Structure formats: structure tokens, C-alpha cells
């Protein structure tokens, strides 16, 4: 009976350790892939927010659902629900 409990206790410890390692790895991967956009890659053109496709080229793509304005050295970005973010240059 005691041997069975000891084996179950060891199994539970290994299961909890495996789950913790999986969660830590998931958080690390999420952190790597969710890094914020570099500010220098964003520009405002005629009220549309553009993002640079790659650092080596001068190709930009429009970001859907966001509009922008450049006021007194500050880039003001807003969405369809009028939530606003500001970036100082």
C-alpha cells in the first residue's frame, strides 16, 4: 500500500514538473513572438498608418483598422472605436 502511494506521489510530481516546463516554454515563445513593432518602421501617410515590410527595403503596407495623424512631433494612432495611442518622436 505504501509502495503504491509512493509511486503515485512520484508520478504526480513528474506530471506537475512537466506541465510547469510546458507552461514556461509557452510563455517564453509568446514573449518572443509578441515583441512590439519598432517605432521607426511606422509612418503616417494621408491619415493611414503604414508599417515597413522589411528593414532592407522601402516597401510599406497599410495597417487595417487604424488611422493616424502627426501633430507637433507626436504620432497619434486611433482605431475605429476611437481608442488612441500616442508615440513621441
Render each residue's pLDDT in the chain as its tens digit; 89 residues.
566 678 888 899 999 999 999 999 999 888 777 766 555 678 888 888 888 887 777 888 888 888 888 788 788 888 877 777 767 66
26 and 57, same domain (yes or no): no
Q: Cell digits for 61?
A: 503596407
pLDDT, residue 16, reads 95
8 and 27, same domain (yes or no): yes
DSSP 39-77: GGGEEEETTEEEEES-TTS--EEEEEEEEEEEETTEEEE
Count of domains observed in the chain: 2
28 and 46, same domain (yes or no): no
User: Domain limits at 4?
Assistant: 1-35
29 and 57, same domain (yes or no): no
Amino acid at each position: 500500500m505504501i509502495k503504491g502511494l509512493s509511486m503515485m506521489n512520484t508520478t504526480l510530481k513528474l506530471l506537475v514538473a512537466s506541465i510547469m516546463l510546458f507552461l514556461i516554454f509557452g510563455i517564453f515563445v509568446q514573449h518572443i513572438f509578441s515583441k512590439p513593432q519598432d517605432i521607426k518602421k511606422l509612418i503616417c501617410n494621408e491619415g493611414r498608418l503604414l508599417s515597413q515590410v522589411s528593414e532592407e527595403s522601402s516597401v510599406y503596407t497599410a495597417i487595417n483598422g487604424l488611422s493616424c495623424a502627426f501633430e507637433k512631433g507626436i504620432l497619434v494612432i486611433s482605431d475605429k472605436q476611437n481608442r488612441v495611442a500616442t508615440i513621441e518622436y
